[in-house]
Structure 1
Amino acid sequence: MDIKEELSIIKRGTEEIISEEELIKKIEKSRKEKKPLRVKQGFDPNAPDIHLGHTVGLRKMRQFQDLGHEIYFLIGDFTGRIGDPSGRSVARKQLTEEEVNKNAETYKKQVYKILNPEKTKIVFNSNWLGKLSFSEVLKLCSKYTVARMLERDDFATRYKEEKPIGIHEFLYPLMQGYDSVALQADIELGGTDQKFNLLVGRNIQREYNQEPQIIITLPLLEGTDGIEKMSKSLGNYIGINELPQIMYGKVMSIPDRLMIRYFELVTDVSLNEINQIKINLENDNLHPQDVKKKLAREIVKLYHGQNAALIAEEEFEKVFNKKLYPEEMKELVLKKDNLKEGKIWLIKLIALSGLVNSKSEARRLIEQGGVKINGEKVDDPNLDLTVKKGMVIKIGKLNFVKLVIR
């Protein structure tokens, strides 16, 4: 493979490369010395699940693996206790060491759905950041100025609005930069919201007499709402560990305008085929629903296999087009002491399902028409429901619960 072809693979789905000229020189040097490039991306374990938004970077790392380079999946178990302030209007809640370690373990189990386990180096930044003496931290802090930190949009906005900025938040980009020093990174990947931190890494490497890393920024994948960045906290995410039927259904719920973007960023479909799909859509030679079904199949296939993707599609057709119930449904066991004269407050019932985070969320879902009982929409949050065995509750677009009384 020539460098032009390698560069074409690397550039797929990227937002910016700083700089492409330097990247070509690094690749040439790597080939000449027969020494793979060291590519890193950091993930703070602030939530236990990996979703499609995370896979944009993970898939790029896999491409580098397939090109023969060294991949460092960096778990920010130390920086995760601070939380990345990028794009935040307030300081993040600091996680406990126990929370960070628990989430980190689940990360390790999930990444191998994408990365090659035999070629992946999983590293924890507590191994070097946790060992820095106070004098070494001061030395690191001396490499950057407050004025430069305040060039960041989020810090600048908070400062202007007189919102508090913790000193520990200023340390975050410095620590991320020091990660690159510790790993002697040639390339660092990150979302577009990480650009400031990645640039700090280049500067910090220079201060420690290292050749600055190449920065590759990647798009932030919008969630199923089509507006906000995919996030579990916003409820607009598609988890890679979710059941095939749930994953398929969630993909089918994304806005049509995001289909091509999803094809490019989170599937293995070739760019030539994606371009052809785009042309056919623009010329009305393909129905958007058929394109979205293909997208859903491709995504489910990546994480559950071809057979599971086809079964998930059949299930979707049955539930959403033929208005039938899925063959497998979660059972909600109600004990008789949960009931009063055979009845239960609907909000309490929805909360007991575990499919909402709070009773207020259950109320909002009911008022918005997102709850059906035996196929009939219910919009009265104050309803005392007379419970019958085998009753089916639909909560949201994708979740069905069968009631069992014991």
Structure 2
Amino acid sequence: MDHKWKSLSEVQQLEVERQLAQYRNGVHEIIPEAELKQKLVTSISTGKPLKIKLGLDPTAPDVHIGHTVVLNKLRQFQENGHIVQLIIGDFTGKIGDPTGKSVARKQLTNEEVKRNAETYFKQFGKVLDKEKVELHYNSSWLSSLDLEAVIHLSSKITVARLIERNDFSNRLSEGKPISLHELFYPLMQGYDSVALESDIELGGTDQQFNVLMGRHLQEHYSQEKQVVILLPLLEGLDGVEKMSKSKHNYIGIDEDPNQMFGKTMSIPDELIVKYFNLITDLSIEEKEKVANEISEGSLHPMDAKILLGKTIVRMYHGKESAEQAENQFKEVFQKGEIPGDIPVKEWYGEGKISIVDLLVSLQMQSSKSEARRMIQNGGIRVDGEKVLNVQEEITIADGMVVQVGKRKFKRLKLVH
């Protein structure tokens, strides 16, 4: 690389270093970093963009900000003129990625894969420029492999190497079955890199085995090996578990601004800097400034979270919505006031109704048992007064405000 590096102008050398610093920021590991720099030097000296791969197994199409950790990194490459290769695993999705699973994954139908893929791509447009994304379905090359080609591909890896995967080795030690088709998943994902001649592949730390497989297979097919960039997994609002809709600790990128802002304010203080680093579009200098000010004590965690909440809402809903969400939060939570723009629910008839039935009728709780739990936990207020008795009868009045938790409000409008 020394010869290529010296052939670059000073401006080009600075551009290599700028991009490299940008790609380093917030990542867990670059394997290997020296090769990434070499690829950047070649790209900038020739004007040929790099091909950056992200494989998607379309099993859970609802995108939350935990998913945007890798999408934000993709956007950086895209903004620097490189090509983003999104691979929809319509073929591998029917196998089911066994990563982290103690049992075989449910295999998807063609219809499920197509529907999930369309939802994914639509939501990804909130982060990436979809017009500058190469969208591929891996069935276009994997479906055409005949048995001889599959056997040839499987000869590139040993069973011992495959069993090194934690999920496989754990299941073996526990006497749980592993189906033969599951062993092909990492091979198929790796072959995607061969088919597209990818230069770089991104993935979470839980995908390390799969993304390194692409590098392994490219070498066996006499291609230049891709660089692997591993990104950390983002803890959810509980500060412990990986962000997940199933764990109810997520911020969805399709959520309304007030909900998004309010959830951001509930993250643990120790995660503020990590969230800034991984899920915002601020510059490296701005992120470092926030981290330094928090460390020095000149920026209070509450103020840092307000800035974080505004940044996240601005990224997905715009600047005006971000300012409105901040004002709403300050009005409701910091001043203890009820917001002025509460959704109005028409209510037919006067009289009394149990608090449990009222919450379910207003669709503020999904079931009576959930309503009782919320009441017992002190999360229900009527006209600002906390309701703690699950048997309490509420007298319906025009203009009554019902509040669930910190962010849900409804105002009743009596209709005679």
| TM-score, scaled to structure 1 | 0.89
Matches within 5 A, 1:330-345: 330=343, 343=353
CA shift for structure 1 position 295: 1.1
Structure 1 pair 353–182 and aligned structure 2 pair: CA distance change class (3 A): farther
CA shift for structure 1 position 152: 1.3
Matched with 1:9 is 22
Q: Mind listing any 5+ residue stretches in structure 1 that lack a counterpart? A: none
Matched with 1:373 is 382
Structure 1 pair 69–376 and aligned structure 2 pair: CA distance change class (3 A): same
Q: Any idea what SS the aligned residue of 2:247 has?
A: coil
Deviates more, 1:183-192 or 1:100-109: 100-109
Residues in 2 aligned to 1:320 and 1:195: alpha-carbon distance in whole angstroms: 42
Matched with 2:312 is 299
CA shift for structure 1 position 238: 1.0
Matches within 5 A, 1:199-278: 199-278=212-291
Residues in 2 aligned to 1:380 and 1:100: alpha-carbon distance in whole angstroms: 47
Matched with 2:408 is 399
Amino acid at match of 1:394: Q
Residues in 1 aligned to 2:140 and 2:153: alpha-carbon distance in whole angstroms: 17
CA shift for structure 1 position 345: 7.0
Residues in 1 aligned to 2:247 and 2:147: alpha-carbon distance in whole angstroms: 38
Deviates more, 1:183-192 or 1:147-156: 147-156
CA shift for structure 1 position 157: 1.6
Matched with 2:143 is 130
Structure 1 pair 261–180 and aligned structure 2 pair: CA distance change class (3 A): same
- Residue deviations 1:88-111 (CA, integer Å, cap 9, x gap): 233333333333322221222222
Structure 1 pair 284–342 and aligned structure 2 pair: CA distance change class (3 A): same
Amino acid at match of 2:353: K
- Residue deviations 1:188-233 (CA, integer Å, cap 9, x gap): 0001111111111111222333222110001111111111111112
- Choose the corresponding residue for 2:188, options 175, 181, 185: 175
Matched with 1:77 is 90
Matched with 2:163 is 150
- Percent identity reads 50
CA shift for structure 1 position 23: 1.3
Amino acid at match of 1:237: Y
Residues in 2 aligned to 1:357 and 1:77: alpha-carbon distance in whole angstroms: 34
Matches within 5 A, 1:73-112: 73-112=86-125
Q: Any idea what SS the aligned residue of 1:180 has?
A: helix
- Residue deviations 1:303-353 (CA, integer Å, cap 9, x gap): 1111111111011111112223333344566778xx9x853571x655565
Matched with 2:79 is 66
Q: Any idea what SS the aligned residue of 1:205 has?
A: helix
- Residue deviations 1:163-201 (CA, integer Å, cap 9, x gap): 333333222212211211121111000011111111111
Does the CA-based 8 Å contact 2:57-2:92 persist in structure 1? yes
CA shift for structure 1 position 132: 3.0
Structure 1 pair 172–391 and aligned structure 2 pair: CA distance change class (3 A): farther
Deviates more, 1:185-194 or 1:121-130: 121-130
Matched with 2:64 is 51
Residues in 2 aligned to 1:170 and 1:357: alpha-carbon distance in whole angstroms: 41
Residues in 2 aligned to 1:365 and 1:204: alpha-carbon distance in whole angstroms: 53
Residues in 1 aligned to 2:395 and 2:61: alpha-carbon distance in whole angstroms: 37
Q: Mind listing any 5+ residue stretches in structure 2 that lack a counterpart? A: 1-11
- Choose the corresponding residue for 2:128, options 115, 126, 133: 115
Residues in 1 aligned to 2:206 and 2:382: alpha-carbon distance in whole angstroms: 43
Residues in 2 aligned to 1:110 and 1:198: alpha-carbon distance in whole angstroms: 23
Structure 1 pair 270–29 and aligned structure 2 pair: CA distance change class (3 A): closer
Confirm or deny that 1:39 pairs with 2:52: yes
Does the CA-based 8 Å contact 1:344-1:387 persist in structure 2? no
Residues in 2 aligned to 1:335 and 1:147: alpha-carbon distance in whole angstroms: 69
Residues in 2 aligned to 1:291 and 1:210: alpha-carbon distance in whole angstroms: 46
Residues in 2 aligned to 1:352 and 1:177: alpha-carbon distance in whole angstroms: 51
Structure 1 pair 136–280 and aligned structure 2 pair: CA distance change class (3 A): same
Structure 1 pair 405–154 and aligned structure 2 pair: CA distance change class (3 A): farther
- Residue deviations 1:247-291 (CA, integer Å, cap 9, x gap): 111111111111111111111223333333323223322221111
Does the CA-based 8 Å contact 2:59-2:113 persist in structure 1? yes
Deviates more, 1:382-391 or 1:224-233: 382-391
Q: Any idea what SS the aligned residue of 2:108 has?
A: coil
Larger radius of gyration: 2
Residues in 2 aligned to 1:212 and 1:174: alpha-carbon distance in whole angstroms: 15
Residues in 1 aligned to 2:406 and 2:366: alpha-carbon distance in whole angstroms: 16
Q: Any idea what SS the aligned residue of 1:189 has?
A: strand
Structure 1 pair 131–18 and aligned structure 2 pair: CA distance change class (3 A): same
How many residue pairs get matched? 402
Residues in 2 aligned to 1:4 and 1:66: alpha-carbon distance in whole angstroms: 16
Q: Any idea what SS the aligned residue of 1:264 has?
A: helix
Confirm or deny that 1:24 pairs with 2:34: no
Residues in 2 aligned to 1:210 and 1:116: alpha-carbon distance in whole angstroms: 29
Q: Any idea what SS the aligned residue of 2:245 has?
A: coil
Deviates more, 1:11-20 or 1:113-122: 113-122
Residues in 2 aligned to 1:134 and 1:405: alpha-carbon distance in whole angstroms: 70
